[in-house]
Chains A and B, each alone.
Chain A
Amino acid sequence: MTSELTIGFLPLVDACLPILAHEHGFAEEAGVSLRLVKDMSWATVLDRLLYGHSDAAHLVVPLAIATTLGRGRPAQPLAVPFVLGLNGNAVTLRPQLAQRVRPEGRIGEPAQVGAGLRKIVQERLAAGNPLRFGVVHRYSSHNYMLRYWLAACGIQPDRDVEITTVAPPFCADALAQGDVDGICVGEPWNSVAVEQGAGEIVLSTAQIWRRGVEKVLAMREPVLDEKRDAVEALIRALCRAGAHFVDPANWEQNAAILARPEYLDGSAELIRRAISDQLLIARGGALIHYPDFMFQYREAANFPWVSQAEWLYTQMVRWDSLQFDAGDAAKAARVFRPDVYRAALLGTGEPLPGASSKVEGSLAARTVVGTQQGAMMLEANSFFDGKVFDPHHIEGYLAGLP
């Protein structure tokens, strides 16, 4: 018997896997039918999840952890059995600023762009008009990636610049109006700003952390338990959607589906670019190819590594000025559910890593890893500043951050 799951999402390219699992019939074939509910803010996606309008949601990952830890509202335990993708965001600055910090015609190196930006930050601070950045949510990977990069470049996010929330559809407008000087947002919104001449891309977040965790499939823990079979079917369908999504033969068709009014309601051309790792960094320029700009499937990208959740907890401690708390760290770690992922995919052709946690940012080169099932090779995965996050030494890692 087919069961039904309702999934909330925001109109962003990285909502692709549930949409394609539904559109290509992968979900139905796996025995679960999907109802997709589009919203315009993360707050509403979360409300629908918490009050039972939806069973699962496409969610910015730090928000799943913040909700579990009761940041901003009473705590409700969420569970993440599947990562919807890695990276796919970019930093876009107003054109005159971008041209001062980025080499002509290509995206820069994070450290170099940061060094150039630091000069501008100092100028603007001295002029009493600090540089302003827009991110999509305070509990978003965009906010954490931007802050990580700024801090590692000697720019104190809370002292030297202002970071404010801007809804993705209004990012281009906010740049054009001068409300913000830069944005860190997902696609297609950087490209929309570029097309309008309101901004130019200087970095992709994949340069800050090569395999940074981005959106996840989040559920209320009790719902996961109650609908476990349907969720496991959904995970199998999402994997098939991932394989379909990264196949160049399907890019055109998938971009056209995602562009439809009921989904992203946007330009298929801009969506196809993001899917194919092509970036137009400045209006009128040439497209550049940045491999793995979006990372939706290879290397078991969808596996919820517990260490990713723990890294996110360190950033929450860092930017919310919290004290490290071993109990909270453990609660944050439990949000990610590799056990559910494994159970869903055992016996399929999908590779399953042997471990559920890893030292993040430690791979300088391609590495073969031990598996429970299938063969797996992980490519280089480092933070641009060379720091390494060992989940066994969270406090030491926190102490070593700028």
Chain B
Amino acid sequence: MRIAIIDESAARASIIQEGLATLEDCELFVVTDRRGLLARVAGFDPDIVLMDLGNPSRDVLEEYFAVSRALQRPIAMFVDESDDESIIASVDAGVSSYVVDGLAPNRIRPILDLAVTRFNAFSRLQRDLAEAKGQLAERDAVDKAKRILMDTRGLPEPKAYAEMRKAAMNQGKRIVDIAEAIVTAHKLMGGA
């Protein structure tokens, strides 16, 4: 089975590729560049094409599948009415699939299921990353605010932190909100 993975996110493409590589008898082909997309797909002559829903080239690819005479075998969007659930799962995950004419749904489904799993795994990774970044930024703000209190009021570090925590509890806010307010106020007052 020849599977083309078209995704402008190279990171996600490689995660999907890694997942599908565990399948037997599958040859994978990854396209992350928009330029020359159709020629590269035609050159690979895929049985299955997986493309992310956010890809701006989807309409281009669909038209190519619908009208091109360059393709040796007609390809169409995979719409299996007997198994709407797996299609819905793939739209939910953000992947669309196109298959060569005559390929049996039971051969496509395991591939699609795996792609969906990998797409979801990628989304999870991204969420975790965004969260981690957010936490880092928060810690940074708290450290800055602590230093400001230490410098301006001559407090030792544990005391500076305790002051912020007390203010947060009294005002029903998070420590990071108090810290950000201190940093902003300090900037406005001419501090660096």
Contact = CB atoms under 8 A, between A and B. Distances in A.
A40 B79 CA distance: 21
Interface in A113-156: 136-138
Interface stretch (B60-68, B132-140, B161-169): B60-68
A299 interface: no
A138 B96 contact: no
A52 interface: yes
Interface residues of A, number: 23
B100 interface: no
B63 A41 contact: no
Given A47-B91, A48-B91, A138-B67, A72 B62 contact: yes
A73 B77 contact: yes
A51 B87 contact: yes
A12 interface: no
Contact of B55 (A41, A48, A165, A166): A41
A73 B56 contact: no
A327 B54 CA distance: 36
**Interface residues of A: mostly helix, strand, loop or mixed?**
loop
Contacts of B59: 41-43, 136-137, 165, 167
Contacts of B117: none
A277 interface: no
Interface in B52-111: 53-60, 62-64, 66-67, 76-77, 79, 81, 87-88, 91-92, 96
Interface in B136-192: none
A73 B88 CA distance: 15
Given A44-B96, A72-B77, A137-B59, A170 B34 contact: yes
B63 A53 contact: no
Given A40-B55, A41-B59, A43-B59, A53 B76 contact: no
Contacts of A41: 55-59
Interface of B: 34, 53-60, 62-64, 66-67, 76-77, 79, 81, 87-88, 91-92, 96
21 contacts: A39-B53, A40-B55, A40-B56, A41-B55, A42-B59, A43-B96, A44-B54, A44-B96, A47-B91, A48-B91, A72-B76, A72-B77, A74-B79, A138-B66, A164-B63, A165-B62, A165-B63, A165-B64, A167-B56, A169-B56, A170-B34
